[in-house]
Amino acid sequence: MTILGISAFYHDSAAALIKNGEILAAAQEERFTRIKHDPAFPTNAVKFCLEYSGVTLDKVDAIVFYDKPLLKFERLLETYYGFSPRGLQSFLTSIPVWLKEKMFLKRMLHEELEKIGNYSKKKAKLLFPEHHLSHAASAYYPAPFEDAAILTIDGVGEWATASICHGKGNQMTILKELRFPHSLGLLYSAVTYYCGFKVNSGEYKLMGLAPYGNHGSAQVAKFVDLIRNVLVEIKPDGSIWLNQEYFNYATGLRMVFDDKWEQLLGFKRRESESLLEQIHCDFALAIQEVTEEVVIKMAEEAKRLTGSKNLCMAGGVALNCVANGKLQKTNIFDNLYIQPAAGDAGGALGAALAAYYIYFNQERKLTPNTLDEMQGSYLGPEYSDMEVKQMAKKYEAHYQYFENFDKLASKTAELLAEGNVIGWFQGRMEFGPRALGGRSILGDARNSEMQKKLNLKIKYREGFRPFAPSVLAEDVEDYFECETPSPYMLLVHGVNPKRRNAFPADYEDLPMMEKLYFLRSDLPSITHIDYSARIQTVHQETNPRYWTLINEFKKQTGYGVIVNTSFNVRGEPIVCTPEDAYKCLMRTEMDYLVVGNFIFDKKFQPKWTESESWKDEYKLD
């Protein structure tokens, strides 16, 4: 049985294909169109999934869309009615779009699929699971558990903004839901907006900014109190009630009422790209602390309702890896599993899995001795040597080819140890927002200048942004306070205390950027200012090439850990093709590009004549 899952028309459109429960392919549309968070129908992603899997549309048994548009339309109408006459302008703007497009989604899906191939709407069933059911399925069915509590938290689906399910065997039961307009995801997005970052894109920046807040300060305590006592009421079970007098997302065109927030907080909304000040850092820390409190309370309720020793998580808030790390440390559950594509892209996969196991009632079989069924999340396109050579011919690019991969890994490790920045393009592209050694930019974590170089000269992004370590799975406890696998870079834990340097006495009083460049450990480029790191454990069984490279680096330097960041510049989706990768090499101050067994040395490439206008292709995120 072959099932195609689709998410589209909000943000992070994607497609996924499964056959008899096995995940064959999955990819986000943005990687093909080069439009970050592309919401369009995922034509290219669908084509890739079909072609890679050797399946034609007429052989697909079901096509599953990740939410119920009519239920979402019902929520829209009821919300505008409930808040009337407020939001009339937004109503007049959005309702015609819904009536023209989304109300007739079934017809749109048929039309788009007919453009792709030999598609018959009479053969394939067209199914619409609820949004949070798709999220829950994406987390539970690939997880290595026969029984698990499932917690999904995001902005909003149709009505649900968070849900608790119980997964057992091939079935899931929804036990509890939090409903719109009360949403932890929307609360976090509101603060993202007020701190000058882009909603549905900049939330991870807010999370990265939070450690610059002054822990234990009166200002942070004041903001936490205002959030808890004015903006949101937190119940013992983790459910929340948001004070709609301060929020405008339900019917308006902005997240919050700026004037009311300014009056409450004592500072104006930060303009995008303007200077970050301590007050923004303190507010970011306050919302992070509140978010962690709510997530832990929801997890405790999930434990109470299910009695399970395992927890699975999905939804956009599940990408808050700081909260995930804090949750894991509580030991509420013995085991924690988070879907690597936890956002809306992963809904495409979850929709397909939900149809297979729930609608078609298929048997669920776990693969023994594996981390999960996600195959390391390497589910996207891969490219042959011939395709790399064709790209090189197009750009008259100079390269060195290695017949033996071990020798290439040894050479690349040597280049890293010399302080070079390397684009690393290997195998299948990752599914989800993280680069996991398939489409990554790499550096030496021991190098005190690496974070600054990567942020300012390679990624062209804000200097405060932290970088993640990739560490050999078997060595993780040597470097970090982490006792479990973290293959998807979704857990933040502390750097091992034996590697830390003590803070100077006046550290909390230092300006933000002086805090940033204090050498906090013997791995300065991946140690965040609170001694934490967003960890990726690299496993030989899921990515043998990446594991071999890091192991070779360890042989040469004694360190089994390197810097890993996504292969893109700010505002650009992660690279998909060898051509995308070569362009990124030539447009930045990267030193080398390694594609398969090819090494491209920047020094020996033809002069790049493209003007700086290429940056206009990508809107700043």
Q: 463 falls in which pLDDT band (50, 70, 90)?
A: confident
pLDDT of 251 = 79
Token pair 């239920």 is found at 71
Contact 533, 495 (CB under 8 A): yes
Q: In this structure, are 261 and 397 located in the same domain?
A: no
Of 322, 352, 373, at which residue does a domain stop? 373
Residues contacting 66, CB < 8 A, separation 6+:
5, 6, 7, 129, 131, 134, 344, 347, 348, 350, 351
In a domain, 181, yes or no: yes
Residue-wise pLDDT for 360-373, tens only, equals: 999 999 999 899 99
How many percent of the chain have pLDDT more than 70? 97
DSSP state of 539: -
Task: Pull the structure tokens for residue 566.
Answer: 């996504």
Average pLDDT over residues 346-372: 96
Q: In this structure, are 545 and 487 located in the same domain?
A: yes
Q: In this structure, are 355 and 398 located in the same domain?
A: no
Residues contacting 375, CB < 8 A, separation 6+:
23, 542
93 pLDDT more than 80: no
Partner residues linked to 171 by β-bridges: 168
3-state secondary structure at position 172: strand
pLDDT of 513 = 76
Q: In this structure, are 42 and 130 located in the same domain?
A: yes
Q: 90 falls in which pLDDT band (50, 70, 90)?
A: low
Residue 414: how many CA atoms within 13 Å on its side-chain side? 7
Q: CA angle, 323 as apex, 141 and 349 as ends, to 5°?
A: 25
Are β-strands 422-425 and 592-595 bridged in parallel, bridged antiparallel, or unpaired?
parallel
Q: 74 falls in which pLDDT band (50, 70, 90)?
A: confident
* CATH code for the domain of 64: 3.30.420.40
Q: Which of 222-231, 279-288, 412-421, 514-523 has the lowest mean pLDDT?
A: 514-523
Q: Number of H helices and number of E strands within the chain? A: 20, 21
Q: In this structure, are 369 and 410 located in the same domain?
A: no
Q: 84 falls in which pLDDT band (50, 70, 90)?
A: low
Q: Which of 123-127, 337-341, 571-575 has the lowest mean pLDDT?
A: 123-127
Pick the closest to residue 214 from 153, 146, 270, 282 (CA basis): 282
* CATH code for the domain of 611: 3.90.870.20
CB atoms within 10 A of CB 562: 32
Q: In this structure, are 453 and 473 located in the same domain?
A: yes
Residue-wise pLDDT for 371-387, tens only, equals: 999 999 999 999 999 99
Average pLDDT over residues 31-47: 97
Q: In this structure, are 298 and 332 located in the same domain?
A: yes
Q: CA angle, 10 as apex, 5 and 15 as ends, to 5°?
A: 20
Helices marked H in 142-202: 184-194
Token pair 């700043």 is found at 620
85 pLDDT more than 70: no
Residue 208, Cβ density class (10 Å: 0-12 exposed, 13-18 middle, ≥19 buried):
buried
Distance CA 160, CA 154 (A): 9
Token pair 């959005």 is found at 94
Distance CA 46, CA 16 (A): 7
Contact 341, 349 (CB under 8 A): yes
Pick the closest to residue 132 from 266, 382, 389, 315 (CA basis): 315
Instruction: Work out the mean pLDDT of the chain and round it to a whole number.
Output: 94
277 pLDDT more than 90: yes
Pick the closest to residue 550 from 471, 449, 463 (CA basis): 471
* Residues 497, 499, 500, 502, CA torsion sign: positive
Distance CA 346, CA 340 (A): 8
Q: 70 falls in which pLDDT band (50, 70, 90)?
A: confident
Q: In this structure, are 329 and 351 located in the same domain?
A: no
In a domain, 215, yes or no: yes
Distance CA 178, CA 176 (A): 7
The torsion angles phi and psi of 618, rounded to 5 degrees, stand at: -115, 120
CB atoms within 10 A of CB 613: 7
In a domain, 378, yes or no: no
pLDDT of 101 = 60
Pick the closest to residue 529 from 584, 467, 580 (CA basis): 467
602 pLDDT more than 70: yes
Task: Pull the structure tokens for residue 536.
Answer: 């990726």
Average pLDDT over residues 299-303: 98
38 pLDDT more than 70: yes
In a domain, 7, yes or no: yes
In a domain, 379, yes or no: no
Instruction: Report the amino acid identity of residue 14.
Output: A
287 pLDDT more than 80: yes
pLDDT of 586 = 97
| Cis status, amide bond into 466, omega within 30 of 0 | no
In a domain, 380, yes or no: no
pLDDT of 185 = 97
Q: In this structure, are 358 and 333 located in the same domain?
A: no
Q: In this structure, are 208 and 323 located in the same domain?
A: yes
pLDDT of 517 = 79
In a domain, 75, yes or no: yes
Q: In this structure, are 78 and 165 located in the same domain?
A: no
In a domain, 201, yes or no: yes
Q: Which domain holds residue 116?
A: 1-140+344-373
Distance CA 156, CA 162 (A): 8
Residue-wise pLDDT for 216-245, tens only, equals: 999 999 999 999 999 999 999 999 999 999
CB atoms within 10 A of CB 374: 24
Distance CA 64, CA 81 (A): 31
CB atoms within 10 A of CB 96: 10
pLDDT of 81 = 62
pLDDT of 121 = 79
Q: In this structure, are 448 and 589 located in the same domain?
A: yes
pLDDT of 77 = 72
Domain count, the chain: 3
Q: 506 falls in which pLDDT band (50, 70, 90)?
A: confident
Contact 24, 373 (CB under 8 A): no
Are β-strands 335-338 and 310-314 bridged in parallel, bridged antiparallel, or unpaired?
parallel
3-state secondary structure at position 600: strand
| Cis status, amide bond into 181, omega within 30 of 0 | yes
Q: What is the DSSP string of 360-403?
A: S-PPP-PPTTSS-SSGGGB-S----HHHHHHHHHHHT---EE-S
Residues contacting 275, CB < 8 A, separation 6+:
none
The torsion angles phi and psi of 514, rounded to 5 degrees, stand at: -70, -35
Distance CA 214, CA 281 (A): 8
Task: Pull the structure tokens for residue 199.
Answer: 């909603």
604 pLDDT more than 70: yes
Task: Pull the structure tokens for residue 58.
Answer: 């007429």
Residue-wise pLDDT for 546-574, tens only, equals: 999 999 999 999 999 999 999 999 999 99
614 pLDDT more than 80: no
Distance CA 141, CA 418 (A): 43
Contact 265, 226 (CB under 8 A): yes
Q: 514 falls in which pLDDT band (50, 70, 90)?
A: confident
Residue 388, Cβ density class (10 Å: 0-12 exposed, 13-18 middle, ≥19 buried):
buried
